[in-house]
Amino acid sequence: MQNTSRLCMGCMNDNGGERVCPICGFDNEGPRNSSSLPLRFWLDGRYIVGKVLDSNGEGITYLGWDNQKDAVVKIREYFPVGLCERSVDGKVVIIPGCEFSYNDGIMAFLEMARTLERLKDLPTILPVYDIIEANNTGYFVSETVSGITLREFLLRNGGTLKWEQARSLFLPLLSTLKTLHNNNIIHRGISPETLFVGRDGKIRLTGFCTAAARTARSDMTAQLFPGFAAIEQYGFDGQQGPWTDVYGVAATIYRTLVGNPPPEATERVTNDNMTIPAEIVKQLPEHVLTALANALQILPEDRTRSIDEFRAELIQSTTGTMQIAKPKAAPAKRKQARGRNYAVMASLVTAGVLVVAVIVLAFTVFKDDLFGANKTSSGGLEPPPFTSLESRAVDTQNEKLNAVPDLVGMRFAQVLNNPDYKDIFKFEIVSKSYNDKYARGVVYEQYPAADTPVAKGTTISVRVSLGPSQVAVPNLKGLTFDEAYVKLIELGFLPENIQQTSMYDANAPKDVVVNVEPAAGQKVSPDSMITVFVNTLKADDTPSSQPSGPSSKPSSTTTSQGESSSVPPSSSGSSSKPSSSPPSSSEPEDNSEENDSSSKSNNNKKTNQNQDRDDD
């Protein structure tokens, strides 16, 4: 059985009991939000509570450890914002006057959990296998899988997917949604944030909540995903049902194919200008366009009514012209409006009208996807704790509060450039440190936590990853230098430390990488010097004045791109394969004295260079 005292509460890996985890960078003794359970809290004598993964108006999701199964889990706690408080012993205390709303909510929460437990064999949800009533509240425990959110998955894959790729992802989800709807579970929060892509390539639906948590003007603080929430979730007239999830999943598919979500439903009510760029239209089958158009109708009575109907439209064979399915039992006035809307949309689509805003958005959102020219070194950098952050809280009395956005997993450059944030919040980096879980430039911890209500102008403090502390040098042979350069940058190596060196290799094509130093597979610090040897010289390019030993460090002239020229061995005396990398034992014996001398010289040179870098 795992020694739980050695577990990191940020990743549930055995880190030897270190305060700051060398694996994920989590500070196990840092300050925490008083509303959440304390780290290492024992639940039901079986589960250990770790860090907060997510929270909203209904409750808090924690990373957890199942001490019976020796397995990482997710623990969801019912903790409705504004209806209860946390006591020092971890129990939940209902705020006087909120008893009815609190009890009504916990009944719905536990009923949903029991249904999910009964349906745990569904392939595209995380199985719920335990339900606990303790501490005057309720919990449910689910399994975890390794993976990333659909949002992050799309960002890593160019922002969009082709329909053929999206089809294989989403069709299994539609089957699961049909079963959930048949068991009276409506998700109401389907979006790239709640869909999870596992390492197995399968998509899974997470973030289940009760209706009150996803409906404005309820007793809970609503969590709505702009662009993905249907109009009936905003408290307007309109019954919620399977068609609510139809809107959410259709909006998510739209985002996957187009690159940005549809306009928010409240905006579309008064100005419905949702279109699809012409170049995307050309790539999509007409029946897919029809299915999305019907499923993204603003008014519930005009919208596709069930997942079955939506699925049928998505997978039907194309038969020529676009046909818009008629709504069932919709009033005549709505039918006419729907026909006009789709006549306009179809004409825009077929005319190939390109929405410039979509292109602009794509370039502004994704242009900072690579972490900019951050030259911060790791030397002596230790992540300081979030000291006295609570004392910075803004007095929120009589002020309109704003929910803190979830920044974890976002690149800090994207945070600064996000127009939804920059006029409301201030941001500061309190530390940068190596983190094996998050890529360079990505926020891995924040304070205040996501969804915390704060006043305008509140400073959000973040920790930013410098990438993994040790990175394996990739095998670059056969790539062009540009391809090798991009690959190294993506792994977190610093641009200024990547040097191109020319050499001659008779057995390799011209202008491709033939070697790399340090050797491929070796784990090194991301700020290490990387020399990429490219086959750009010819045998007759060798200047006679240069040393010919294979172990000698070639003289080089560094260009503005960090490129140098490596001189091959003299063509006289040997026809063996020349090398500018470490010495080869196959060289002629009559050059051994020269090789030894050159090797010693270069070893001294490398030692001096390393000493200089250590001094720096």
pLDDT above 90: percentage of residues in the chain: 50
pLDDT at 399: 58
- State pTM to two decimals: 0.55
The yes-or-no verdict on residue 118 having pLDDT over 50 is yes
* Full set of structural domains in the chain with CATH: 1-144 (3.30.200.20), 149-367 (1.10.510.10), 390-465 (3.30.10.20), 471-615 (3.30.10.20)
The yes-or-no verdict on residue 588 having pLDDT over 70 is no
Mean pLDDT for all residues in the chain: 78
Q: Which of 189-203, 340-354, 545-559 has the lowest mean pLDDT?
A: 545-559
Residue 306: which of 472, 175, 414, 112 has the closest Cα? 175
Do residues 454 and 401 lie in contact, with contact meaning Cβ atoms separated by under 8 Å? yes
The yes-or-no verdict on residue 561 having pLDDT over 80 is no
Average pLDDT for 561-580 = 38
225 CB-near residues (< 8 Å, 6+ apart): 189, 191, 193, 194, 248
Do residues 541 and 504 lie in contact, with contact meaning Cβ atoms separated by under 8 Å? yes
The yes-or-no verdict on residue 334 having pLDDT over 60 is no
pLDDT band at 538 (very low <50, low <70, confident <90, very high): low
How many residues are present in the chain? 616
Map tokens 């394969």 to a residue: 577
The yes-or-no verdict on residue 497 having pLDDT over 70 is yes
Distance, in Å, from the CA atom of 580 to the CA atom of 547, rounded to the nearest integer, reads 11
Half-sphere exposure in the Cβ direction for 419 (13 Å, CA): 3
pLDDT at 557: 37
Average pLDDT for 29-37 = 90
DSSP per residue over 485-507, as a string? HHHHHHTT--GGGEEEEEE--TT
pLDDT band at 320 (very low <50, low <70, confident <90, very high): very low
| Each residue's pLDDT tens digit, 220-234 | 999 999 999 999 999
| Each residue's pLDDT tens digit, 246-276 | 999 999 999 999 999 999 999 998 888 888 8
Distance, in Å, from the CA atom of 304 to the CA atom of 290, rounded to the nearest integer, reads 11
Average pLDDT for 169-198 = 96
The yes-or-no verdict on residue 427 having pLDDT over 60 is yes
pLDDT at 391: 32
∠ CA 162-166-167, nearest 5°, is 115
Distance, in Å, from the CA atom of 608 to the CA atom of 616, rounded to the nearest integer, reads 12
Distance, in Å, from the CA atom of 525 to the CA atom of 419, rounded to the nearest integer, reads 35
Average pLDDT for 289-307 = 94
Average pLDDT for 350-369 = 36
| Each residue's pLDDT tens digit, 155-183 | 998 999 999 999 999 999 999 999 999 99
pLDDT at 30: 87
Give the 3-state secondary structure of residue 184.
coil
**Helix 163-182, helix 242-258: angle, nearest 10:** 170
pLDDT at 408: 93
Average pLDDT for 415-442 = 83
Average pLDDT for 571-581 = 37
Q: Which of 16-30, 279-293, 376-390 has the lowest mean pLDDT?
A: 376-390
The yes-or-no verdict on residue 547 having pLDDT over 80 is no
Give the 3-state secondary structure of residue 603.
helix
**Which segment, 5-14, 438-447, 500-509, 605-614, is predicted with the most confidence on average?**
5-14
For residue 176, give both structure tokens. 């699961």
Do residues 56 and 44 lie in contact, with contact meaning Cβ atoms separated by under 8 Å? no
pLDDT at 83: 95
**Which segment, 25-29, 560-564, 590-594, is predicted with the most confidence on average?**
25-29
Distance, in Å, from the CA atom of 59 to the CA atom of 78, rounded to the nearest integer, reads 5
For every residue of 423-488, which 3-state class applies, written as one string?
Answer: CCCEEEEEEEECCCCCCCCEEEEEECCCCCEEECCCEEEEEEECCCCCEECCCCCCCCHHHHHHHH
pLDDT at 540: 54
CA distances for 13 relative to 7, 10, 101, angstroms:
5, 8, 39
Q: Which of 219-223, 536-540, 544-548 has the lowest mean pLDDT?
A: 544-548
The yes-or-no verdict on residue 553 having pLDDT over 70 is no
Residue 314: which of 244, 253, 231, 252 has the closest Cα? 253
For residue 186, give both structure tokens. 């409506």
The yes-or-no verdict on residue 112 having pLDDT over 90 is yes
pLDDT band at 357 (very low <50, low <70, confident <90, very high): very low
The yes-or-no verdict on residue 133 having pLDDT over 70 is yes
Q: Which of 69-73, 306-310, 413-417, 535-539 has the lowest mean pLDDT?
A: 535-539
